[in-house]
Amino acid sequence: MSGIFRKYGFIDVKKRNAQIRELTTKLHSVEEINKSNHSSKGLEQIQTLRTQLQHYLLHSYNKQLRKTKATYYSQGNKAGKILANQMKQKHLKSSTIPLFYNPADYNKS
Protein backbone atom coordinates (compact mmCIF):
# COMPACT_ATOMS: atom_id res chain seq x y z
CA MET A 1 0.00 0.00 0.00
CA SER A 2 2.77 2.44 0.88
CA GLY A 3 4.42 1.73 -2.47
CA ILE A 4 1.33 3.00 -4.24
CA PHE A 5 1.36 6.22 -2.22
CA ARG A 6 5.05 6.70 -2.91
CA LYS A 7 4.47 6.16 -6.62
CA TYR A 8 1.72 8.78 -6.81
CA GLY A 9 3.73 11.15 -4.63
CA PHE A 10 6.72 10.81 -6.92
CA ILE A 11 4.54 11.44 -9.97
CA ASP A 12 3.12 14.55 -8.29
CA VAL A 13 6.60 15.85 -7.48
CA LYS A 14 7.74 15.28 -11.07
CA LYS A 15 4.72 17.19 -12.41
CA ARG A 16 5.27 20.06 -10.00
CA ASN A 17 8.97 20.31 -10.85
CA ALA A 18 8.15 20.27 -14.57
CA GLN A 19 5.62 23.05 -14.08
CA ILE A 20 8.14 25.11 -12.12
CA ARG A 21 10.73 24.67 -14.89
CA GLU A 22 8.17 25.56 -17.54
CA LEU A 23 7.04 28.68 -15.67
CA THR A 24 10.64 29.75 -15.13
CA THR A 25 11.49 29.45 -18.82
CA LYS A 26 8.26 31.25 -19.84
CA LEU A 27 8.98 34.02 -17.35
CA HIS A 28 12.51 34.41 -18.64
CA SER A 29 11.39 34.60 -22.27
CA VAL A 30 8.59 37.09 -21.53
CA GLU A 31 11.01 39.26 -19.55
CA GLU A 32 13.47 39.24 -22.46
CA ILE A 33 10.72 40.21 -24.90
CA ASN A 34 9.50 42.93 -22.53
CA LYS A 35 13.02 44.41 -22.30
CA SER A 36 13.04 45.18 -26.00
CA ASN A 37 9.52 46.63 -26.26
CA HIS A 38 7.70 47.65 -23.10
CA SER A 39 3.99 47.00 -23.03
CA SER A 40 1.30 46.70 -20.38
CA LYS A 41 0.33 43.26 -21.72
CA GLY A 42 3.89 42.03 -21.17
CA LEU A 43 3.90 43.37 -17.61
CA GLU A 44 0.60 41.61 -16.91
CA GLN A 45 2.01 38.33 -18.24
CA ILE A 46 5.11 38.74 -16.10
CA GLN A 47 2.98 39.39 -13.02
CA THR A 48 0.74 36.35 -13.61
CA LEU A 49 3.71 34.08 -14.28
CA ARG A 50 5.44 35.29 -11.12
CA THR A 51 2.28 34.68 -9.10
CA GLN A 52 1.93 31.15 -10.45
CA LEU A 53 5.60 30.42 -9.82
CA GLN A 54 5.33 31.79 -6.30
CA HIS A 55 2.34 29.51 -5.66
CA TYR A 56 4.31 26.39 -6.62
CA LEU A 57 7.39 27.45 -4.68
CA LEU A 58 5.37 28.26 -1.54
CA HIS A 59 3.86 24.79 -1.68
CA SER A 60 7.30 23.20 -1.63
CA TYR A 61 8.52 25.57 1.11
CA ASN A 62 5.53 24.72 3.28
CA LYS A 63 6.16 21.01 2.77
CA GLN A 64 9.81 21.40 3.76
CA LEU A 65 8.80 23.42 6.82
CA ARG A 66 6.31 20.76 7.95
CA LYS A 67 8.94 18.08 7.49
CA THR A 68 11.47 20.07 9.51
CA LYS A 69 8.99 20.64 12.33
CA ALA A 70 8.03 16.96 12.40
CA THR A 71 11.69 15.94 12.53
CA TYR A 72 12.40 18.40 15.33
CA TYR A 73 9.47 17.26 17.46
CA SER A 74 10.12 13.57 16.90
CA GLN A 75 13.92 13.59 17.18
CA GLY A 76 14.84 16.95 18.66
CA ASN A 77 15.51 18.01 22.25
CA LYS A 78 17.17 14.74 23.20
CA ALA A 79 19.19 16.53 25.86
CA GLY A 80 15.98 17.65 27.57
CA LYS A 81 14.63 14.11 27.53
CA ILE A 82 17.86 12.73 29.01
CA LEU A 83 17.85 15.39 31.72
CA ALA A 84 14.21 14.67 32.56
CA ASN A 85 14.94 10.94 32.87
CA GLN A 86 17.95 11.62 35.11
CA MET A 87 15.87 13.89 37.33
CA LYS A 88 13.12 11.28 37.51
CA GLN A 89 15.62 8.56 38.51
CA LYS A 90 17.16 10.83 41.14
CA HIS A 91 13.72 11.66 42.53
CA LEU A 92 12.77 7.98 42.71
CA LYS A 93 15.97 7.14 44.56
CA SER A 94 15.52 9.93 47.10
CA SER A 95 11.81 9.31 47.70
CA THR A 96 12.08 5.58 48.47
CA ILE A 97 12.27 4.77 52.13
CA PRO A 98 14.72 2.02 52.90
CA LEU A 99 13.18 -0.70 55.04
CA PHE A 100 15.52 -2.56 57.36
CA TYR A 101 14.29 -5.55 59.20
CA ASN A 102 15.98 -6.10 62.49
CA PRO A 103 14.67 -9.25 64.19
CA ALA A 104 16.10 -8.17 67.58
CA ASP A 105 13.64 -5.24 67.71
CA TYR A 106 10.67 -7.55 67.36
CA ASN A 107 11.90 -10.17 69.84
CA LYS A 108 12.13 -7.71 72.80
CA SER A 109 8.47 -7.77 73.55
What is the Cα–Cα distance from 38 to 34, expressed in whole angstroms? 5
Average pLDDT of adjacent 10-residue blocks, the chain of 109 residues? 80 89 92 86 90 89 86 71 78 64 62
Q: Give the torsion sign (CA, 35, 38, 39, 43).
A: positive
Q: Which amino acid is at 50?
A: R
Read off the pTM: 0.55
What is the Cα–Cα distance from 109 to 88, expressed in whole angstroms? 41
